[in-house]
Amino acid sequence: MLSVSDLHLSFGGIKALRGVNFEAKKGEITGVIGPNGAGKTSLFNAISGFYTPHKGRIHFNNADITGISPDKRASLGMARTFQNIALFRGMTVLDNIKLGGHTRLNTGLFSALKYFGSARKEELELRRDIEERVIDFLEIDHIRKYPITMLSYGLQKRVELARALAMRPSVLLLDEPVAGMNREETADMARFILDVQEQYGTTILLVEHDMHMVMDICSHIVVLNFGQQIASGTPTEVAKNPAVIEAYLGVAA
């Protein structure tokens, strides 16, 4: 579904990624873990198109997407959330989620100025789709008219997931979906992620520091350290891997 082969990325002398190789299988949840500064977010930025890798390729649905711009990747069916919530703070929850439908709509400038006719039909269709498929699904009906600034951190994260879901993605990249959340919020989010996978068969790639959650919901885990891929496999395999234990805990002298 989404595969990364021999990915290298550097900023001047800093080598952020040094030969990352993995595949996120269709309909599965793949986790990317690693200590701070391991290159997880750099990897995400390369996959979503903000950084151009020095070497290596990124394939999505059997097509090479290495060189194309982020907005084109979105129309191919790639959605993502950010570590530090990147919602549009000047808009309501509903408008934020509607933006997820951007690539599926066709309204041009002149029909937008006129509104009545095709634009109105399309907007109402989008509204219905979002209400039924996203807002109801993620249980955020009560806040749909609220401005983003009025929401708690946990709810903002959920709205960001909602916006990504409104894109009807085939691959969903989640950058630390439960960072800074309490146990209850984490459990909620984990449940929503599993629901998304189950109901829509979305391929999910997630970066996360919460080991309990990663081990619980991922079927495949990739471990990065200093830009290098040090392990890859099922949660149990990875947890036993000596290189991973060393990276996380250090080894007694």
Residues engaged in binding other proteins (CB under 8 A): 48-50, 69-72, 74-75, 79-80, 82, 86-91, 95, 98-103, 105, 107-109, 111-115, 119-120, 122-124, 127-128, 131, 163, 167
Nearer to other proteins, 74 or 206 (CB): 74
> Pairing between strand 78-81 and 63-64?
unpaired
Instruction: Using the minimum distance from each CB to other proteins, give the nearer residue, 114 or 240.
Output: 114
Nearer to other proteins, 87 or 218 (CB): 87
| In the complex, minimum distance from the CB of residue 251 to other proteins, in angstroms, rounded to a whole number | 39
Going by DSSP bridges, is the β-strand pair 171-175/63-64 parallel, antiparallel, or unpaired? unpaired
CA distances from 199 to 28, 165, 173, 192, 231 (A): 12, 12, 17, 10, 30
CA dihedral sign, ordered 214, 215, 219, 225: positive
Q: Which amino acid, 160?
A: E
Q: Which is nearer to other proteins, 100 or 177 (CB)?
A: 100
Q: Taken in order 165, 27, 19, 232, is the CA torsion positive or negative?
A: positive
Residue 65 backbone phi and psi in degrees, to 5: -115, 15
| Structural contact between residues 197 and 177, judged by C-beta atoms closer than 8 angstroms | no
CB-nearer residue toward other proteins: 28 or 122: 122
Least separation in angstroms between CB 200 and other proteins: 18
Q: Smaller CB distance to other proteins: residue 40 or 220?
A: 40
Q: How far is the CB of 175 from other proteins (least distance, A)?
A: 11
Residue 59 CB, shortest distance to other proteins, in Å, is 19
Rounded least distance, CB 184 to other proteins, Å: 27
For 102-135, give one letter per residue: b (16+ CB within 10 A) or e. Answer: ebeeebeeebeeeeeeebeebbeebeeebeebbb
**167 in Cβ contact with 100 (< 8 Å):** yes
Cβ of residue 69: shortest distance to other proteins, in angstroms?
A: 7
